Amino acid sequence: MEAAVGRFLVVGIGPGDPELITRKAERLVRAADVVAYHAGVRKQSHARRIAADLVPATAIEEELRYPVTTGTTDHPGGYVGALADFYDDCEARLADHLAAGRDVVLLAEGDPLFYGSSMYLLDRFRGRFETEVVPGVPAFAAATAALAVPLVRQADVLTVLSGTLPEPELARRLADTDAAVIMKLGRTFPAVRSALEQAGRLEGSWYVERASQPEERWLPVAEVAADSVPYFSLIVVPGDTVRKPDAKRLRSTATVEEAAQAPSADQRTRAAELTVVGLGPGPDHWLTPEASTVLAEVDHVVGYAPYVNRVPQRAGLQRHASGNTVEVDRARLALDLALSGDRVAVVSGGDAGVFGMASAVFEAASDASRPEYADVPVRVLPGVSAVQAVAARAGAPIGADFAVVSLSDRLKPWSVLERRLRAIAEADLVLGIYNPASRSRRDQLVQAQKVLLEHRSPDTVVVVGRDVGRAEESLTVTTLGELDADAVDMKCLLIVGASSTRVEPDGTVWTPRWVE
């Protein structure tokens, strides 16, 4: 007969007030054979203190004391190595109890699966032993209760953020949400406060320290001294802080119908300039100084979400992100905002005039049903295009005459694309191919390759650039005959050389300026 094994029970005990421990958590702790809890370096366990009155005198106690709580350690594997060894040791100690048939209750502050350390042991024991998780009151719920301020209403979006995020990313996310909770403060507080200010969310944000505990205190974030922020603290940004006149219409959550309401005649007399900005292929240092200046001054940024996310957040900036196939709707929103007198930038990756938003803006502005759009001055700023970036990485493949084509057939039939590809191939031009393939478009590049091979040698040089300018950048030099279409996706741009395009021994690709 097999010996019985114990159960591993991860029990949430709330943020600090013992009266917030659930009845189920209380029952399991009182019945535990083994009670385990984490403790900081040279600190008493906060979890053990919360549950002090519930731990049975007969229970075996296992204190899991961290070897390090910051990134500084002399462990040969660094911080990560020290923590890995720590959890290995914790696992071995608790596994011995479980194998001996003892139920182990691991106390978890707040809720176990909400930034909780207990999840790492749960991952190790799941599948080996019977496990159960008991939810607990999270710290942010206690904090909002202490403030007695509504966190979210109706369709508000709540975002929970870690204060360890990079400051620009934190500011962007704060600007893009209705309500927020920011955890993990302590030494991160100065950057978090700065991010709130950049996002225009500092006013109305609350700092809460040791929620539900006897030492609990709360005050506006703007009044907090940076050197007085302990780990057991968080920031609450209520959704009500974005409810200013017309804010809902101006935020990115506004519907196209709401945003497209015709402005009044008075508004039309105050139209501001709309600037279409090319952000370049990715790196910040490829953004032109002119573009940076404009983005630092506008009231609104409109664009495809990944491009809007590249614009640094600052106080007073409204962001309007949308999907990838609503270019004209996006342009109309920008024109409406400009008509109201606000300064607006529409952003595109690469150069806005090369398969970007510039054409969509002019298309929307020419709508005969909206003659007031003619009152909006539109200016287009150039940016580094993707074909330039890939060509520069390869050498100088577009150093002579070249053409560019988008293989997307969303706005034009394949028959037109095929005719253009044949003409370019017959003219022996270098060809830059945008949008070569996507998850739903896998045949176009295969067909384009066949069309080009009818007029070009299989040895024709092909450059495949993926994510050029980003950390994941790769550059492949191949031939038209050897091109693997299955390995190409929307992150790629292709340059198909002319008959004169050359590859040097070091891999440099260039096209002579002369034609023999």
Mean pLDDT (whole number) for 187-200? 93
Q: What is residue 252's three-state secondary structure?
A: coil
285 alpha-carbon distance from chain centroid: 20
Mean pLDDT of 480-492: 94
Task: Flag whether pLDDT at 1 surpasses 50.
Answer: no
Average pLDDT over every residue of 122-134? 95
The predicted pLDDT at position 501 comes to 97
**H/E segment holding residue 122:** helix 118-125
Q: Which of 149, 122, 234 is nearest to 188 (CA)?
A: 234
The answer to whether the CB of 280 falls within 8 A of the CB of 290 is no
Using 50, 70 and 90 to split pLDDT, how confident is the model at 122? very high
β-strand partners of 461: 479
Is a pLDDT exceeding 50 seen at residue 318? yes
CA dist 456 and 480 (Å) reads 8
Percent of the chain with pLDDT over 70: 93
CA distance 201 to 199: 5
From residue 326, give the alpha-carbon distance in Å to each of 310, 311, 329: 19, 20, 5
Give the separation between CA 49 and CA 95, rounded to whole angstroms. 24
Hey, is 87 helix, strand or coil? helix
Question: Per-residue pLDDT tens for 262-302?
Answer: 444 444 456 899 999 999 998 889 999 999 999 999 999 99
Under 8 Å between Cβ of 469 and 475:
no
Spatial distance between the Cα atoms of 406 and 274, rounded to a whole number of angstroms:
26
Phi/psi of residue 308, nearest 5 degrees: -60, -35
Give 284-324 as a DSSP string. Answer: GGGS-HHHHHHHTT-SEEEEEHHHHTTSPP-TT-EEEEE-T
Which residue bears the tokens 């296992």? 62
pLDDT of residue 380: 97
Instruction: Tell me: pLDDT of 369 over 80.
Output: yes
CB of 332 within 8 A of CB of 326? no
Strand, helix or coil for residue 345? strand
3-state secondary structure of 201: coil
Quote the CA–CA distance of 301 and 334 in Å, as a whole number. Answer: 8
Output 76 or 503, whichever has higher pLDDT: 503
Q: Rounded to an integer, what distance in angstroms lies between the CA atom of residue 251 and that of residue 323?
A: 15
DSSP of 390-405, one letter per residue? HHHHHEETTSS-EEEE
pLDDT of residue 436: 95
Residue 28: pLDDT above 70?
Answer: yes
Q: What is the pLDDT of residues 139-181, one digit of tens each?
A: 999 999 999 999 999 999 999 999 999 998 999 999 889 999 9
Question: At residue 441, does pLDDT exceed 90?
Answer: no
- Which is nearest to 212 in space by CA: 179, 237, 234? 234
3 state SS for 150-199: CCCCCCCCEEEEECCCCHHHHHHHHHCCCEEEEECCHHHHHHHHHHHHHC
Question: Does the pLDDT at position 213 exceed 80?
Answer: yes
- Beta strands in 246-323, from DSSP E residues, in sequence order: 274-278, 300-304, 318-322
Domains and CATH numbers, the chain: 7-137 (3.40.1010.10), 141-242 (3.30.950.10), 249-381 (3.40.1010.10), 387-510 (3.30.950.10)
Q: If you average pLDDT over residues 202-210, what whole number do you get?
A: 95
Contact criterion met (CB below 8 Å) for 317 and 200 = yes
Q: What is the mean pLDDT of residues 458-475?
A: 95
Q: Is it the case that residue 490 has pLDDT exceeding 60? A: yes
Q: What is d(CA 472, CA 414) in angstroms, rounded to the nearest whole number? A: 31
The pLDDT of residue 272 is 92
Per the CB < 8 A criterion, the answer to whether 328 and 364 are in contact is yes
pLDDT, position 71: 63
pLDDT digits (tens, 9 = 90+) for 376-401: 999 999 999 999 999 999 999 999 99
As a whole number, mean pLDDT of residues 68-89 equals 85
pLDDT in tens, 421-433: 999 999 999 999 9
Please say whether the beta carbons of 330 and 336 come within 8 A: no
| Coil, strand or helix at 235 | strand
Please identify which residue in the block is written with the tokens 């479980």. 98
Give the span between the Cα atoms of 75 and 15, in whole angstroms: 32
Q: How far apart are CA 60 and CA 460, in angstroms?
A: 74
And the tokens for 441? 């478009």
User: What pLDDT does residue 251 have?
Assistant: 37
* 259 pLDDT above the threshold of 50: no
What is residue 144's predicted lDDT score, i.e. its pLDDT? 95
| Widest pairwise Cα distance in the chain | 95
